[in-house]
A and B are shown apart, each in its own frame.
Chain A
Amino acid sequence: MTAAVAVAVLVTGGVFLVLQRGLVRVTLGFILLGHAANVLLLAAGGMARREAPLVGRVDLPEASDPLPQAFALTAIVITFGITVYLFGLAGAGADAEPDDEPDPEVLP
C-alpha cells in the first residue's frame, strides 16, 4: 500500500515536471520517474519480506527478492548515465525552446 502511494507521488511529480518548459526541469522529472520505477521494482519483489539478501546473515524466508534489486540497480546506473548526458545537453544550449509565448516574468 505504501509502495503504491510512493509510486503515485513520484509519478505525479515526475510527470508534472516533464511537461514543463526547460530541459533542466524535464530532467528532474525523469529522475523522479526513475525513482518511481525503482520503487515499483522493489514492490514487485514483494514488500512483505524486507531482510537484506545476504546469505548466512539473515533468515532466508524473510529475505527480500534479490532479482528486482539487481534490476533496480542496473536501472539506476543506466538512468544515471542518461541523466548526466541530459544535463550536458541542457548545458550545451538545448534549453532553448521555441518562444511562441511571451514570458510573463523573467527573473534576473
Chain B
Amino acid sequence: MTASALLPLLVAGPLVGAFVATGLTRPAARRALGLLVSAAVLAGSVLLVMATRDGQVVVAQVAGWPGGIAIPFAADPLSALMVLVASLLVTTCLAFAAATGDDLDRWFVPLALVLSGGVYGAFVTADLFNLFVLVEVALIPSYVLLTAGGRPEQVRAGRIYLTVNLLGSTILLAGIALLYGVTGSVNLGELAGAAADSNAAALAAGVVLVAFGVKAALVPAHGWLPATYPSAPPAVTALFSGLLTKIGVYAIFRVYAVVFDGDARLSSVLLVVFLATMVVGVLGALGEGRMRSILVFHMISQVGYILLGLSFFGVLGVTAGIFYFLHNTVVKASLLLTAGAVETTHGTDRLDRLGGLARREPLLAVAFFAAAVSLAGLPPFSGFVAKLVLVRAAFAEQAYLAGGLAVVVSLFTLLSMMKIWNGVFWGEPPDQPPAEPAVEVPRIPRSLVWPGVVLAGVSLAVGLGAELVLGLSQTAAEGLVDPSDYVDAVSGR
C-alpha cells in the first residue's frame, strides 16, 4: 500500500483506538493503547516529513472518488511538520498524564485519542467542510476534558469555553456556506486564489478567517483563553496548548496562503491584529499571579508572533512563522508540563505560595529555565532562531515597527518568565503557618519531570542544530507562497 493510502489512517487510527479503549477495563491497558497509537502516529509522521522534505505533496482522495468530489487528504511539507509536532506533543502529554494519574479516569484516554485524531485530520484535510467536521471532532472531547472533575470553577470555565467555541464553529459553518454560495466548491484545490480574484469570495473567506481567529484567540476575541484553560487539570492544559488553538493558526495559514493567495490588501489589517495580540498577550501575562495563567496569556502573545511571520508573505516571513509555530508548540508544552509537575506535587501554582524550588528540584528548574528563555528568545535555544528569522523578515520588508515591537515584547516575555522563576524557583519557601504540623512536601517524582525535560531538550537541540528544522520550514514556506503543487495534487490533476 502506498503512503498516500495510509493518510486517512492518521485519523482512523486514533479514532478506532479511542473506542476500543472505551471497552478496556484496566487503566494500564488503556494507557498502553493510548501511548501505542500516539507513538505509531509519531513514527508515521516522521516518515511523512521525510517523504515531503523536497516539497512533494502526498495526497489521498479518500474513498477513491475523483478529484473535486472526494474529500482530499493532502500532506505537503507544512502539514507533515504539523502532524509531527502534534504527535510528539500528544505522546509526551499522555506520558505526563500517566504520571499525574489523570488517565485513570475511564474516559481520559479515549477522549484524548479522539482529540488527537481530529487534530491530525485537520492538518491534512484539504476540504473546508471536512475541516469543519474534524474541528468539531477535536473540540467536543476538549469540552468534556475541560470539565472533567466537575469542580464548580471547571464547570464555569467549561461554559465559557463551550459557548465561545460553539459560536466560532457556527461562524465557520456560515463562512463555508457563503464560500460555497459564491464559488460552488469547498475543495481547497478549486478554491485556490478565489479570494484574490473576487471580492465576494474574499468576504466569504473573511468570515472563515474570523472564525479561525476566534479559535486561535486573536485580539479582540482572546479573552476566553485565559478565562478557561487554567481551570483544566495540568495535563489537559498542556495537551490543549499545542493542539486546539494551533488548528486555528494552521487554518489561517492555509486559507490565507491558498484561498487568498497571500493577498497584500489584507496584510495591514492582519498586521494590526497580530501586533495587538502580541502586546496584549504579554501584558496580560505580566499581571497574573499563577504560573499557568501567565503561561496561558503567553499563548495569546505567541500566536501573534507566529502569525506575524505570515503577514510578511514572502518565503522568509512564512518560514519564520512556521519555524516559530513548531518551536512554540514544543516550548509552551514544556513549560506547561513543568508547571504542571509543580502544581500536581505542591497542590498550587500560585507564585506567592511557592518558592525555593531550584534547590530541591534542580533538574526541573533547569528544564523550566531553558524553556523559559527559549520562549523569550534567548540563545542558544530554538526561540532565539525563531525570533532571529522573524525580526530579520520584518526588517527585510521594512516593517520596522513590527520588528521593533517583536523585540520589545520579548523583553516583557523575559520579564514575566523571571517573575515565575523568582517566585517559584528562587526565593524562600513560603512560611508554614505555625499552628499546622510541619508538612513534608515530597520530591516531585521523576515521571512527572521528564516529559518537560524532554521537550526542553528538543528546544535546545533545535536551537543548536537549527538548520535542519529551518530548512524544512523553508520548504514548507515555499509550498505556501506558491501553492501550485499542493493545488494540483488536491484537485487530482
Contact = CB atoms under 8 A, between A and B. Distances in A.
Q: Do A and B contact each other directly (Cβ–Cβ < 8 Å)? A: yes
Interface of A: 18, 23, 26, 30, 33-34, 36-37, 40-41, 43-45, 67-68, 71, 74-75, 78, 81-82, 85-86, 89, 92-94, 96
B177 A86 contact: no
Interface stretch (B156-164, B461-469, B485-493): B156-164
B170 A81 contact: no
11 contacts: A30-B170, A36-B174, A37-B177, A43-B177, A44-B177, A78-B133, A82-B140, A85-B143, A89-B155, A89-B158, A89-B162
A33 B170 contact: yes
A89 B173 CA distance: 23
A78 B178 contact: no
B333 to A, nearest CB: 27
Contact of B173 (A23, A75, A82): A75
A71 B163 contact: no
A89 B159 contact: yes
A23 B174 CA distance: 23
Interface in B150-194: 150, 152, 155-156, 158-159, 162-163, 166-167, 170, 173-174, 176-178, 180-181
Interface in B306-332: none
B147 interface: yes
Given A40-B178, A41-B173, 15 more contacts: A26-B163, A30-B167, A30-B170, A37-B170, A40-B181, A41-B177, A43-B181, A44-B178, A71-B180, A78-B136, A82-B136, A82-B140, A92-B150, A94-B156, A96-B156
Contacts of A82: 136, 140, 143, 162, 166
B129 interface: yes
B177 A94 contact: no
Interface string B200-220: 000000000000000000000
A18 B162 CA distance: 12
A82 B142 CA distance: 12
B133 A44 contact: no
Contacts of B167: 18, 30, 33
Contacts of A18: 163, 167
Interface string B99-132: 0000000000000000000000000000001000
B159 A30 contact: no
Nearest to B182: A44
B181 A44 contact: yes
B162 A37 contact: no
A34 B170 contact: yes
Contacts of A44: 177-178, 180-181
Nearest to A71: B129
B214 to A, nearest CB: 14
Contacts of B158: 89, 94
A103 to B, nearest CB: 19
Contacts of A81: 140
Contacts of A89: 147, 155, 158-159, 162
Contacts of A92: 150, 155
A93 to B, nearest CB: 7
A94 B156 CA distance: 6
B159 A94 contact: yes
Nearest to A46: B181
B58 to A, nearest CB: 26
A85 B142 CA distance: 12
Given A23-B159, A44-B181, A94-B159, A85 B170 contact: no
Contacts of B140: 81-82, 85
B45 to A, nearest CB: 27
Given A44-B177, A68-B177, A74-B133, A94 B163 contact: no
Closest 8 CB pairs of A and B: A44-B181, A40-B177, A94-B155, A41-B177, A44-B180, A37-B173, A44-B177, A94-B159
Contacts of B174: 36-37, 40
A82 B161 CA distance: 13
Contacts of A34: 170
Nearest to A74: B133
A71 B173 CA distance: 9
